Homo-oligomer: A and B are copies of this chain.
């Protein structure tokens, strides 16, 4: 069984390498053959993960209770879907992505609507095959957030939605006088690369086991137990754009570098869920990266590299990087307004899946709900219900994990800061004690605990809103 799992790990990481190369360096004409390679490996991996040998191994191997539990879960998920459905899902998504892209460009929802209907039909079928306790959405959410229950997540979100909206409104109001381009100025890419690297290194990212490259859409990917690749993109007038992106991806990368490398092929050596992964990225991007002690240490260095910052005092700098403003676009949203975008999507996705919301009503309901949260309507569907790629990829059930990540990040940060060494480090701009706390409480555990059990073991409680709301109030109110 170990050999079979090692083989799957080799194929998975090889596929990740082909994908990374495709996103970073591959010439344009390489795509056609590359897609054949990727499809081949996807097929091989699926074949091995659903093979009789895998099933037999599950019954006989002694890999520890947690690994057995997770591998059995993965095997069940993989084998429950009929081949016809897997292929239909793949084809539908390929067509839907193209249609979404065109619909978005032309700002014409009707081009995407029939595809969304088909994707929902497939999602419902998948949920039926996978099975669920309360509602079909559970089965989808569980793909990204193991063992999460929709009604619990909904309860959590409902309990904070008004607070989040109020905090956002206050933050936006207080930021009204801060110019959006206060920190803009010439930022040669070479200098940005230098600062990003120095900061990622100081946070504990091991560049002998990882690197940073340039892509249109930033991501973090794992090519091997000691090979974690981050990416970013550069704005020549705004060094904060790539810097906070890199700190976000560094958070993902530190989690991956902190997993037990010897168990790379086992759940015990793999990240447990997107909600936990996102907690790590948001921790370093927001809790650390937008804090005073961090910039007490790093502003002088940034001023060395970018002379236009030399007139800007620390207080003013902090105000600028924590500026809040409403935007129709999720990926441009700041910390104070981000979750409102998620609440909207979570609510609509759930209603679409139950059939309570018709596909044709999506644009109107999106805009109404958006207005109730943000106080204004998106200018068009491109800036509304057509902005995200996720649905077209069949990624229903994904969005909630972004806000779970925010909640988890605050709760973990708060709990870690009860350790005097961590707190002392945090105050002095030395975040290695914080990293070591995360390594011990989160990274080292891999997938041996379910996400909520992991939160409980690390902080004494499953995910709850207190720390996050307190953090937002302290920062923005």
Q: Which residues of A contact B (CB under 8 A)?
A: 7, 10, 13-14, 17-18, 21, 25-30, 32-34, 36-37, 40-41, 206-211, 213, 223-227, 264
Contacts of A33 in B (CB 8 A): 13, 224-227, 264
B40 touches A226 (CB 8 A): no
**Chain B: minimal CB distance from A210 (Å):** 6
Contacts of A30 in B (CB 8 A): 209, 223-224, 226-227
Q: Which of A13, A27, A223 has the most CB of B within 10 A?
A: A27
B7 touches A40 (CB 8 A): yes
Which of B10, B21, B213 touches A40 (beta carbons < 8 Å)?
Answer: B10
Q: Name the residue of chain B whose CB is nearest to the CB of A7.
A: B40
The 3 A-B residue pairs with the shortest CB-CB distance, nearest first, are A30-B227, A33-B224, A29-B226
Which of B26, B29, B36, B227 touches A29 (beta carbons < 8 Å)?
Answer: B227
A10 touches B37 (CB 8 A): yes
Q: Name the residue of chain B whose CB is nearest to the CB of A26.
A: B227
Q: A13-B33, A21-B17 are in contact. Are A28 and B208 (CB under 8 A)?
A: yes
Contacts of A36 in B (CB 8 A): 10
Contacts of A18 in B (CB 8 A): 14, 17
B29 touches A206 (CB 8 A): yes
Q: Name the residue of chain B whose CB is nearest to the CB of A223.
A: B30
Q: How far is the CA of A146 from the CA of B36 in the complex (A)?
A: 30
Q: How far is the CA of A209 from the CA of B30 in the complex (A)?
A: 6
Contacts of A13 in B (CB 8 A): 33, 37
B29 touches A14 (CB 8 A): no
Q: Which of A40, A226, A264 has the most CB of B within 10 A?
A: A226
Contacts of A14 in B (CB 8 A): 14, 18, 37, 41
Q: Name the residue of chain B whose CB is nearest to the CB of A24.
A: B25
B211 touches A27 (CB 8 A): yes
Contacts of A264 in B (CB 8 A): 33
Contacts of A25 in B (CB 8 A): 25, 211, 213
Q: How far is the CA of A32 from the CA of B13 in the complex (A)?
A: 13
Contacts of A224 in B (CB 8 A): 30, 33-34, 37
What 20 additional pairs, Cβ within 8 angstroms, besides A21-B223, A29-B208? A10-B36, A10-B40, A13-B33, A13-B37, A14-B14, A14-B41, A17-B18, A25-B211, A25-B213, A26-B227, A27-B209, A27-B210, A27-B226, A28-B208, A29-B226, A30-B209, A30-B223, A30-B226, A32-B226, A37-B224
**Chain B: minimal CB distance from A219 (Å):** 16
Contacts of A21 in B (CB 8 A): 17, 21, 223
Q: Name the residue of chain B whose CB is nearest to the CB of A34.
A: B224
Contacts of A210 in B (CB 8 A): 27
Contacts of A37 in B (CB 8 A): 10, 13-14, 224
**Chain B: minimal CB distance from A126 (Å):** 28
Contacts of A27 in B (CB 8 A): 207-211, 226-227
Q: How far is the CA of A7 from the CA of B28 in the complex (A)?
A: 23
Q: How far is the CA of A209 from the CA of B33 in the complex (A)?
A: 11
Q: How far is the CA of A227 from the CA of B13 in the complex (A)?
A: 21
**Chain B: minimal CB distance from A469 (Å):** 40
Q: Name the residue of chain B whose CB is nearest to the CB of A39.
A: B10
Q: Name the residue of chain B whose CB is nearest to the CB of A11.
A: B40
**Chain B: minimal CB distance from A200 (Å):** 13
Q: How far is the CA of A7 from the CA of B211 in the complex (A)?
A: 31
